[in-house]
Structure 1
Amino acid sequence: MPPPAPMRFSVADYVIFALLLVFSSVIGLFYALSGGRQRTTQEFLLAGRSMTFMPVALSLLATFQSAVAILGVPAEIYTNGTQYWFLGCSYFLGLLIPAHIFLPVFYRLGLTSTYEYLELRFNKATRLCGSLTFIVQMVIYMGVVLYAPALALNAVTGFNLWGAVLAIGLVCTLYTAVGGLKAVIWTDVFQTLVMFSGQLAVIIIGAKQAGGMAEVWQSAVNGGKITGIDLNPDPFERHTFWTLAVGGVFMMLALYGVNQAQVQRYLSSRSEKQAKLSCYAVFPCQQIVLALGCLMGLVMYARYGENSPLQQGYVTASDQMVLYFVMDVLQDYPGLPGLFIACLFSGALSTISSAFSSLAAVTMADLIKPYYPDMTESQATLISKCLALGYGLLCLGMAYIASLMGSVLQAALSIFGMIGGPLLGTFCLGMFFPMANSVGAISGLVAGLIMAFWIGIGSFISKGARLSFANTTSVQNITISMATTAMTTATTTLAASAGPTGLKKFYSLSYLWYSGYNAATVVIVGLLVSFLTGPMKGEDVNPSTVVPVLRYLLFFLPERCKEKLTCGVRYQPANSEPGLQHSLMLHKESNGVVGQDKTNWTSQKQGLGDELCKDWDIVKEDLAVEILQETPL
């Protein structure tokens, strides 16, 4: 058995870790002092809508590839085998659907906040509910994603806990507040490369010490860690092929389809084509990230076998095993442990900076600007920067609260995942069901949140009780699985003679079905309430906010039947729609319009051309040329 890993960093490790912070700060300062210098909200919150697909793709990848994922996935593979690898099957539809359904709607409407869509489709109250729900979700998550890796690092290496928290929090706040979204995206690119480098270094050296990758694989086969395809359709089984490949799609849609942090990156692209390409490009990157996490877990198993560091008492929680393994494997390579710690905290930096930027955008666009329409652009930009700074300081406060949570830490992580499903359901209700009204949307969102918290908290309490019965040390020994789910428990197999029944069976629903189940609750309740309170008429629905998905899926039907599937919505011809929607975007920006009431949609649409002609002098030259090309006047 290998000896306990050393508990100290070398000078080289500290230097590499410090360089990560310095380079991230320099990128933020560079974009604060160059280019548009963040003088407008469009530049600060949306990078001037000038980004190409590759940096956007890497930023999309980094946003939810946080430190808890880097720690959690290898520990999951080490404990339960490679079944988790099949989550990669969900990435195909989980990125293809956002690219061709959600993204075009958001991009063509020219939004800043995703929740502006809810006002365009329903009303201001729905938008406000969605915005507040998102803010609660991200504020709770920020502190946890900062504190959790710092705690693990402190436990294994003796690295100063609050020194790490303050360094990461303050640096992240600095470059986000002064450099805006452009700085966030380019630091994400740099941090993604650091993450890849750190994980590759550990895998290569660990496999070499184990006798090569062939020996690693053989060890995993002998230990029963290479699992086959489990086609059990039972949704209460934690991990099966269907749970991972199908249930995971809904998790991906909640993250890459409607989450503000991701949509904001789509909207920063210079064109809709570039935004779609970023979705395509992130697919192979996600597969690489998943493969690296799984391979690290197999290399860990080749080194320790069944005698894990947790069982030997070298660490006190499963998510500390990866750090112990890194310090053990890289103890003779000064600087490489620092590289992996830089990798770990790159994940934290990218996630937290994205949270700051998205929270600033939502707060400004949804909670401030609509109520102060006469605010100048310079005032709005200054307030946006102050919001990013304020959320950065709030993150540090939430990290302190997380330190006091104890076993409630897992519950706090769970909240992030619980809220994603209901928000996905609200957007699906609006985009796919023209008859849904605002009362139905709000009722569905509330019902979805109630259902999500009922299942999530019930599952947490139920599993916590069973864990205690199984003589595990504490609920904190639960391995944190993918950070994007942030609500799962990756525990050792629970010894029970009989399966759960009744509510306990209900609470054992696989976490990967949570998003789909809660989204379905929103849609069903929303449609029922809409029918009871009077469904929306097709002619009152802004056609730019609805996707005729049934018309596309049932393309083989006669034209008369397909016309009925539109529910009376007056869709524009395909060749004129982009021009109309782009014109609507400019109309909103030039007149301070952030939403529309369904009753005046028709009149606004009819007068749109005249308004644009009158205000033509305020339209930027490049956008004016684009409108002339797309919509002949």
Structure 2
Amino acid sequence: MNFTDLVVFFLYIGGIALFGGSFFKRNKTSESYTVGNKDIPGWVVTMSIFATFVSSISYLALPGNAFQSNWNALVFSLSLPIATLIAVKYFVPLYRKINSPSAYTFMEQRFGAWARIYVSLCYLLTQLMRVGTILYLLALTLNAIVGWDIATIILFTGIIVAVYSMLGGITAVLWTDAIQGIILIVGALGCIVYMLFSMPEGPSQIFSIGAEYNKFSLGSFRLDLTEPTFWVVLIYGVFINLQNYGIDQNYVQRYMVLKSDKEAQRSALIGGLIYLPISILFLFIGTALFGYYHSAATLPVELQDVAKADRVFPYFIVNALPPGLTGLMIASIFAAGMSTISTSFNSSATVFLTDYYNRYINKKASNKQHMRVLYMSSAIISLIGVGIGIAMIDVKSALDAWWKLSSIFSGGMLGLFLLAMSTRVKRATGAIIGMIAGILVILWLTFSERILGPDSIGASFHTYLTIVFGTMAIFLVGFLVSYLLKPKHK
């Protein structure tokens, strides 16, 4: 990175931190800290929902995926309208009616305190792993680009995001997310324009090369459950996106900051649908990179390995883009990561305050005590997240196991929510039996190949289907047991 790029990058980092911290005076109550003062514009919430969905993983993984293979990953985005419409019609009005900062108050109302503790604890564990992983991948990318120490980058990024999200509360998170969402879109567009006009035969050459190598394919349309076909990815996308927009505290908290139900539903719908065209941009970057390095430039030998496709985009940013644009692109990657991390910090602190402190530790706490808990929990969560990110440098296998556990947790959460919304029986027996059945199915699908071998039935399904079968098992078993145990009236 030259001087211009460094100036662009650090101006962005410093500007975001100062802007986010400037909302400190607005957080006079715990309510304003967690759900705002009902004065945040709808477009800001919409862009925040979009920016929360896009992490630095998406920003780098989608181009790498398209460079390596094709546009099969776009099918995941095509499932967004289905999941978003379901969330807008059923989940958003539900949370607005309950009027709680936490998404998991509903679970206690339906099945009792155990359900609230289970889903909120699963959420907190998942968020810690999410923060650590994004910090690590962000640092790994920046290390590859500029050579800075990975642990230092993790610590620096974690502290910066923690400070402004802790000082500014949900208002700072929403506004900075909106700005970061705009920056990452501008960065992606700038990169595409540069590649289009760098082709020896003009912009059309990218399309001709992509068509020649079948780079625009959406994958196979065969009914094969062992491969990531169009249908497998579509079904997987519906369940994952329904989990994100329907039960994830990161999104539910945003539904609560607006004044009316219509505003909340509109922001949820548009914020989800924006990702579809932007994911096309990211995938097109990967296809354009493939065309660029097949005509205008040559990749070094160490990056020609298919397994290293994710490193091609960072290499292009450093070695091909002009000064200034390189800094903007690195800022865009940071924007994608920082928006997701800041959301996790604020929403996790909100869950701890609402679902644990207010419920079990101090039911009559003052507003001053609430604010102290929010600040302290935000700081602790950020420190743990930074620690996990640093631990990933050397202890990758253990954290891979953690990621598998987090998928088990999240699968159980979605099934339990769907069961709660579809039955009026308040007995917890059906929910508990269904949850156990679903977790057993997820465990079987996750570890059957390792324990029983590659010829086992569980190993014959693609990993994308784990959350699908697990969620369906929880819902169907829970619903059936609840129906059978339903008291009969004369």
TM-score by length of 2: 0.92
What secondary structure does 2:106 align onto? helix
Asked whether the equivalents of residues 46 and 268 of structure 1 are also in contact (C-alpha less than 8 Å), the reply is: yes
Task: Indicate yes or no: 2:361 matched with 1:367.
Answer: no
Residue of structure 2 equivalent to 1:393: 383
Residues 402/451 of structure 1: CA separation in 2 closer, same or farther (3 Å cut): farther
- Distance in 1 (alpha carbons) for counterparts of 2:216 and 2:425: 48
Task: Indicate yes or no: 2:478 matched with 1:526.
Answer: yes
Of residues 312, 321, 325, the one that matches 1:321 is 312
Percent same amino acid at aligned positions?
A: 26
**Structure label with greater radius of gyration:** 1
Of residues 4, 7, 30, the one that matches 1:15 is 7
Of residues 240, 252, 269, the one that matches 1:251 is 240
Task: Indicate yes or no: 2:374 matched with 1:384.
Answer: yes
Of residues 144, 147, 161, the one that matches 2:136 is 147
Asked whether the equivalents of residues 439 and 470 of structure 2 are also in contact (C-alpha less than 8 Å), the reply is: yes
**1:406, distance to aligned residue in structure 2 (A):** 2.9
**1:408, distance to aligned residue in structure 2 (A):** 4.9
Q: Which amino acid in the other structure matches residue 135 of structure 1?
A: L
Residue of structure 1 equivalent to 2:24: 32
Residues 453/329 of structure 1: CA separation in 2 closer, same or farther (3 Å cut): farther
**1:21, distance to aligned residue in structure 2 (A):** 1.5
Q: Which amino acid in the other structure matches residue 439 of structure 2?
A: L
* Structure-to-structure mapping, 1:501-580, within 5 angstroms: 501-503=455-457, 506-531=458-483, 534-535=485-486
Residue of structure 1 equivalent to 2:36: 47
Residues 132/189 of structure 1: CA separation in 2 closer, same or farther (3 Å cut): same
Residue of structure 2 equivalent to 1:427: 417
Q: Deviations over 1:399-445 (max 9, x none)?
A: 11111223555544444444322211100000012236312223333
Q: Deviations over 1:569-604 (max 9, x none)?
A: xxxxxxxxxxxxxxxxxxxxxxxxxxxxxxxxxxxx
Residue of structure 2 equivalent to 1:290: 279
Residue of structure 2 equivalent to 1:207: 196
Aligned residue pairs total 485
Residue of structure 2 equivalent to 1:195: 184
Q: Which amino acid in the other structure matches residue 293 of structure 1?
A: F
* Structure-to-structure mapping, 1:587-602, within 5 angstroms: none
- Distance in 2 (alpha carbons) for counterparts of 1:109 and 1:224: 49
Q: Which amino acid in the other structure matches residue 486 of structure 2?
A: P
Residues 404/537 of structure 1: CA separation in 2 closer, same or farther (3 Å cut): farther
Task: Indicate yes or no: 2:179 matched with 1:183.
Answer: no
Q: Which amino acid in the other structure matches residue 64 of structure 1?
A: F
Structure 1: gaps spanning 5 or more residues? 1-8, 466-499, 539-567, 569-633
Q: Which amino acid in the other structure matches residue 513 of structure 1?
A: L
**1:87, distance to aligned residue in structure 2 (A):** 2.5
What secondary structure does 2:123 align onto? helix
Structure possessing the higher relative contact order (Cα contacts under 8 Å, 6 or more residues apart): 2
What secondary structure does 2:395 align onto? helix
Give the root-mean-square deviation of aligned CA atoms: 2.5
What secondary structure does 1:502 align onto? coil
Q: Which amino acid in the other structure matches residue 316 of structure 2?
A: F
Residues 302/182 of structure 1: CA separation in 2 closer, same or farther (3 Å cut): same
Of residues 230, 253, 269, the one that matches 1:280 is 269
**1:113, distance to aligned residue in structure 2 (A):** 0.8
Asked whether the equivalents of residues 9 and 328 of structure 2 are also in contact (C-alpha less than 8 Å), the reply is: yes
Asked whether the equivalents of residues 28 and 175 of structure 1 are also in contact (C-alpha less than 8 Å), the reply is: yes
TM-score by length of 1: 0.72
- Distance in 1 (alpha carbons) for counterparts of 2:447 and 2:332: 32
Asked whether the equivalents of residues 421 and 515 of structure 1 are also in contact (C-alpha less than 8 Å), the reply is: yes
Q: Deviations over 1:125-153 (max 9, x none)?
A: 11111111111111122111111121132
Asked whether the equivalents of residues 436 and 527 of structure 1 are also in contact (C-alpha less than 8 Å), the reply is: no
Residue of structure 2 equivalent to 1:75: 64
* Structure-to-structure mapping, 1:127-142, within 5 angstroms: 127-142=116-131
Q: Which amino acid in the other structure matches residue 521 of structure 1?
A: A
Residues 407/328 of structure 1: CA separation in 2 closer, same or farther (3 Å cut): farther
Residues 450/10 of structure 1: CA separation in 2 closer, same or farther (3 Å cut): farther
Q: Which amino acid in the other structure matches residue 459 of structure 2?
A: Y
Q: Which amino acid in the other structure matches residue 324 of structure 1?
A: Y
What secondary structure does 1:82 align onto? coil
**1:454, distance to aligned residue in structure 2 (A):** 3.8
